[in-house]
Amino acid sequence: EAQVTQNPRYLITVTGKKLTVTCSQNMNHEYMSWYRQDPGLGLRQIYYSMNVEVTDKGDVPEGYKVSRKEKRNFPLILESPSPNQTSLYFCASSFLGDNREGYTFGSGTRLTVV
């Protein structure tokens, strides 16, 4: 089954404790992206990647890092999480240059930073 898999689904952590949210897709998509969803703000792009070793900042990159060492994986790293990073995070992927199918989204990771 074609899908984007995120882990974990739920995470509660303390301020300053480094964490990684994993994202993996099995569709051979070049393009992968991370969004955060906050009430009243919709989804905002954090980082995106157009291919292996090619990443770029989205609209709200502060406090986040990403890496793209393999085509299928695109982990989101919070080196020193803060409470304002409490949010619902979605990973998405698509073919680059062909948007006819839109994006495929993961199931989301609900992060709480206390």
Partner 1 sequence: AQSVSQHNHHVILSEAASLELGCNYSYGGTVNLFWYVQYPGQHLQLLLKYFSEDPLVKGIKGFEAEFIKSKFSFNLRKPSVQWSDTAEYFCAVISGGGADGLTFGKGTHLIIQP
In sequence order, the 6+-apart residues with CB closer than 8 A to the CB of 111 are: 11, 12, 13, 19, 21, 78, 81, 85, 86, 87, 88, 89
Which residue, 73 or 103, has its beta carbon nearer to partner 1? 103
Question: Does 42 participate in binding partner 1 (rule CB under 8 A)?
Answer: yes
Q: Which of 2, 12, 14, 41 binds partner 1 (CB under 8 A)?
A: 41
Q: Which of 25, 94, 111, 113 binds partner 1 (CB under 8 A)?
A: 94
CB 52 within 8 A of CB 42: no
Question: Does 1 participate in binding partner 1 (rule CB under 8 A)?
Answer: no
Which residue, 42 or 69, has its beta carbon nearer to partner 1? 42
Question: Does 111 participate in binding partner 1 (rule CB under 8 A)?
Answer: no
Q: How far apart are the first and last CA of the chain?
A: 36
Query: Going by DSSP bridges, is the β-strand pair 31-38/42-51 parallel, antiparallel, or unpaired?
Result: antiparallel
Question: Does 40 participate in binding partner 1 (rule CB under 8 A)?
Answer: yes
Name the token pair of 104.
């495929």
Question: Does 2 participate in binding partner 1 (rule CB under 8 A)?
Answer: no
Q: How far is CA 100 from CA 18, 60, 105, in A?
A: 37, 26, 15
List interacting residues with partner 1 (CB under 8 A): 31, 33, 35, 40-45, 48, 50, 58, 90, 92, 94, 96-97, 99-103, 105-108
